[in-house]
Structure 1
Amino acid sequence: MTQLVILDRDGVINQDSDDYVKSLDEFIPYPQAIEAIARLSQAGWTVAVATNQSGIARGYFDVATLEAMHARMQELVSAAGGNIAYITYCPHGPDDDCSCRKPLTGLLERIRDAAGLETLEGSWMVGDSLRDLQAGNAVSCQSALVRTGKGRRTELKGAGLDHVRIFDDLATFTDWLLSSEQKAPSHSP
């Protein structure tokens, strides 16, 4: 059975900006997040990224720039001994009537299909905004909110956080997930 963790990007893996992350220079990963992704990979978890990138539709940056940011993210994770199996993004704006912009589920469905899974039940969606958690909940993911990025603001609003685990950052989520996994009872035949 595939163990899957789906991460939002901006605010979870790298510093977010209200003015959008528009260039490779503005893409500033959290070192502890890169290490956390590597630890998840090494523990047998499949890691995927699902990110809204409306800056493309708004003309702030192009797909080549986004792909350069994702290549850099992959390089850093690989250098730390990990792997991001899938990266999917929504290039649309909020009024483009697409099916992929979170809180809609298109990005997560793409990851499910690419991973060859029938369902995302039991998988994790980790984000810093309510729309990340709503997308995860809609496809039966377990949800975790991190306080990095917009996470503190989301936590303070409080709405929609029932059944959501809250962590300081991706590293503390990873610590919890890997330690709780080891405490799970073993089933002997």
Structure 2
Amino acid sequence: MTDRLVILDRDGVINQDSDDYIKSLDEWIPIPGSIEAIARLSHAGFRVAVATNQSGLARGLFKLEMLNAIHQRLRERVEAEGGRIELIAFCPHGPDDGCDCRKPRPGLLLEIAARFDVELASVPFIGDSLGDIQAARAAGARPWLVRSGKGERTLERLREQGMDNESRDIPIYPDLNAAATALIDTL
């Protein structure tokens, strides 16, 4: 067994995203195959962490207790498949708060690296947004992109902004299930 780390964004990668935020257990809906993908990563020897912006807290859309309940459900679903999420790091701040943890800043990823005592140079961060890509690069991690969630919009933005060259070195997959398969195949 290896002892490798993979970091995942939450909304749009693990569960369906919403421009109105995920505010309740009823609104937290896993993307088909994502829970099983996390379990497969665990079985393959990957340590799994999640890095997620949760500005709905700062906006007063839900309370910390609800966020904890959503994360508990996520962990339970993964554990029911025989997998494990070892850490969920989240930014509770709003976009104008100037914190270091809100993606695209690298704070959440650096926190995860410190907690696991690892260098991020070979660690994939699988996300669906430009902010995820920027955070990965700023932290020294390897950005991976999924087309689920905001992934298609992100690819379009990269094309519109003439950043196609920037995205060429980023592995792009339909969803977390496909990304997990590709990651496991590298072992």
TM-score grouping bracket, smaller chain normalisation: over 0.9
Identify the match of residue 161 of structure 1 among 157, 160, 167. 167
Write the deviation string for residues 57-116 of structure 1: whole angstroms up to 9, x where unpaired: 011001100000000000000001100011000000000011100011111111111112
Between the aligned partners of 2:67 and 2:81, the Cα distance in structure 1 is: 21
Q: Cα offset for 1:180?
A: 2.5
Write the deviation string for residues 27-81 of structure 1: whole angstroms up to 9, x where unpaired: 0012300000000000000110000000000110011000000000000000011
Q: How many residues align?
A: 180
Letter in 1 for 2:186: S
RMSD: 1.1
Letter in 2 for 1:127: G
Between the aligned partners of 2:142 and 2:26, the Cα distance in structure 1 is: 33
Give the equivalent residue in structure 1 for 2:29: 28
* Normalised TM-score (structure 2): 0.93
Between the aligned partners of 1:162 and 1:101, the Cα distance in structure 2 is: 25
Q: How does 1:1-189 map to 2 (within 5 A)?
A: 2-117=3-118, 119-158=119-158, 159=163, 160-181=166-187
Give the equivalent residue in structure 2 for 1:185: none
1:25 counterpart SS class: coil
Between the aligned partners of 2:79 and 2:156, the Cα distance in structure 1 is: 35
Percent identity over paired residues: 53
Q: Which runs of 5+ in 1 are unaligned?
A: 182-189
Between the aligned partners of 1:97 and 1:134, the Cα distance in structure 2 is: 16
Letter in 1 for 2:117: G
Letter in 2 for 1:69: I
Between the aligned partners of 1:143 and 1:110, the Cα distance in structure 2 is: 17
Q: Which runs of 5+ in 2 are unaligned?
A: none
2:186 counterpart SS class: helix
* Normalised TM-score (structure 1): 0.92
Between the aligned partners of 1:140 and 1:70, the Cα distance in structure 2 is: 26
Comparing 66-75 with 169-178, greater Cα deviation is found at 169-178
Write the deviation string for residues 132-158 of structure 1: whole angstroms up to 9, x where unpaired: 111111122111100000001101222
Between the aligned partners of 1:47 and 1:7, the Cα distance in structure 2 is: 7
Comparing 27-36 with 72-81, greater Cα deviation is found at 27-36
1:24 counterpart SS class: coil
2:26 counterpart SS class: helix
Between the aligned partners of 1:32 and 1:70, the Cα distance in structure 2 is: 18
